[in-house]
Amino acid sequence: MQKILLKSKIHRVKITDANLGYEGSISIDEELMEKAGIVSYEKVAIWDVNNGARFETYAIPAPRKSGDIIVNGAASRLVQIGDIIIIGTFGIYDEKELTGFKPVLVYVDEKNHALSS
C-alpha cells in the first residue's frame, strides 16, 4: 500500500508581492526551494495563516537569497502582501519507506531567509 505524506514545508514565510497579471504559480526564493527539495514546476500547497485560504499551484524560482515569495495569477486574489503562509509538498511513499521517515522542514527569519538547521 502507498501513502501520501508531507515531503517538505517552508514554514511561515511572508508574501512579498502578488502579481495578478502573471499566468500562475508561486515564485519562491531559489535557496528556499533547494533547502525544501522543491523543483521548478512542482505542485505545492499554500496555507495562508492570516486568512485561512488554502490553494494549490506550482513553484518557480525567484532570485537566490532575495527572500521573494510572490503569488502569481488568479491565486494572487487570495493573499495580501505581508501575509504569512506555509508552503507544503507531498510525496507518495511505499510502506517500507516509512520507517524513520521525516519531512524536510525549513524555517525562516523575518526576511524569508532560511535559518540554520
> Catalytic residue positions?
25, 58
CA dihedral 86, 91, 97, 102 (to 10 degrees): -10
